[in-house]
Each structure stands twice: as structure tokens, then as C-alpha cells.
Amino acid sequence: MQTRSKSIGLVLSGGGVRGMAHIGVIKAMQEFGLEATVVAGSSVGALVGALYSADKPIEDMLHFFKDTPLFKYNYFAVAKPGLINTERFISAFQQYFPEDSFEALKKDLHVVATNLEQGEEVFINKGELIRPLLASAALPPVFSPIEYNGALHADGGIMNNFPSEPILSRVEYVIGSNVSLVSKLEKKHLNNSFQLTGRVTGLMIYAINREKINNCNLIIEPQELENIGILDRRGIEKAYAIGYETAVRTFEKVL
């Protein structure tokens, strides 16, 4: 397969801490000589996609999620519709994206957020960068929505957790990294309302995005990620390692 000679697009799903597997996939891509020219991401996939598009080293990508308080929950919101005030992350993001601009990135990046007022998904690929990134990753009810272009926006995964649409017509080969997985559950794991809500939400996301995932030329879905909580920051390194190992095995088979 002459993948290296084709233009490559990379789609990165949402999935919280499990999204660290995306960084592992990118590490494996680099080792196999694969570089995407167009990147699309939702939620944590948008954040990883932005770091990749800014040509940040793998170590810096991991440090971003370890250093910024995304998974530390110490920025509690007051008088905002969310437990954590998302606005307070802006200064932390400025350290990694000082130019705060899509145009300053080295790759063509597309992120998706949800316009809560209009009830529609919004693809963003130009202008200011940090607010769209925060909006794409603002998962209700944990994170408060972000005001962007005069309207409140929240997590892109609400309406589109696998945003392949912007890149399909722009590249010859699409690699998808999906960390929102669904597997069989035992009855004991559905014994309270929180577990039930999480399961139902996961099934809805899975069903809505399944066709798009299957339409990728190559899809990487590390099943071992299911043992990592989507908001458990202790799983950062483990998710990264799982993503890397799964991608290496996949590339060895097809390249």
C-alpha cells in the first residue's frame, strides 16, 4: 500500500482522558513516516489536533494535558452553567498557542463545537484558536459553555464526535483514531443512574458515528481504553501507551 505517497487526513474523536491515545497514534505515525496535512477533531481530539497542527513535540503534547488543569477540577464555576469555569483555562492555553490563531498553525485544522443556542454543530478552521478549542472540549455539565461569535458553545461531541466531514474531499487517505468505544457490559455495571446514563450516552455516540468511522481508509480503535475513565487523569500515560502500541500493530499490518 503506497500510503506514504498519498495526502493524508487525520480524524480524532472525543473521549476525555482516553484521547491521550491520539498522541500515541501520532507518535506511531511519525515513526512510520506518515504525516497528515489536514486534521479534524472533536473535544479532546480538537485539543490534540491543535497541538499536532502546531508541530508540538510528543513530550509537549503530554505535558499540555498534565500541566493544564483540564482534568484537575480546581477551577470551580460561580454563577455559570457548569461545575468548572472554562474561561479560566485561557491563560494556560496561551502558553502553548501564543499566537491564538488557526492561520499560525502548520496544518489545516478543523474543530467542531456545538452552538447551544441554535442547536447545531459548527466547524471552525480560521480566526482565533483558543476559544474554539475550549468550546469544543467544554463537556456539560462539568465545564461551563464558552461564548464564541456571540453565542454559547459547548462540546463538539454532543452532535459530532467523529468529524470526518471537513477532510474527506481534501485528502486521498483518511486515518481515524476513535477512543469512544462500546463493548459488552455485565449487569452489575448498570446498577445506578450514573452508570446507566454513561452507557446510554456511549451507545448513542457510537451509533451516530459508526458509519463515518467505517468509511475511513484506516481506523485505530484501542479496545483496552475501556478500562480508563474518561475523566481520570491518572490514565494519561496508560492511554498514550495503548494508543501507540495499537497504532504500531496496525501500521505493521498495512504498510
Cell 452489575, residue located: 188
Residue 89, SS3 per DSSP: helix
| Residue 2 counted as domain residue | no
Q: From 164, 139, 133, 154, select the one nearest 40 (Cα to Cα).
A: 164
Is 232 part of any domain? yes
Instruction: Say which DSSP state 14 is in.
Output: -
pLDDT of residue 115: 97
Q: Can you give the residue range of the structural domain that contains 54?
A: 8-253
Identify whether 205 is part of a domain: yes
Number of domains within the chain: 1
pTM above 0.85, yes or no: yes
Distance CA 170, CA 177 (A): 18
110 inside domain? yes
Active site positions, annotated? 43, 155
- Grid coordinates in use for 196? 446507566
**pLDDT tens digit at each of 255 positions of the chain:** 566 679 999 999 998 889 999 999 999 999 999 999 999 999 999 999 999 999 999 999 999 998 876 655 443 334 444 444 557 788 889 999 999 999 999 999 999 999 999 999 999 999 999 999 999 998 877 778 899 999 999 999 999 999 999 999 999 999 999 998 876 666 776 677 656 666 666 677 777 788 899 899 999 999 898 778 777 788 999 999 999 999 999 999 998
Residue 216, domain CATH: 3.40.1090.10
Q: What is the pLDDT of residue 184?
A: 67
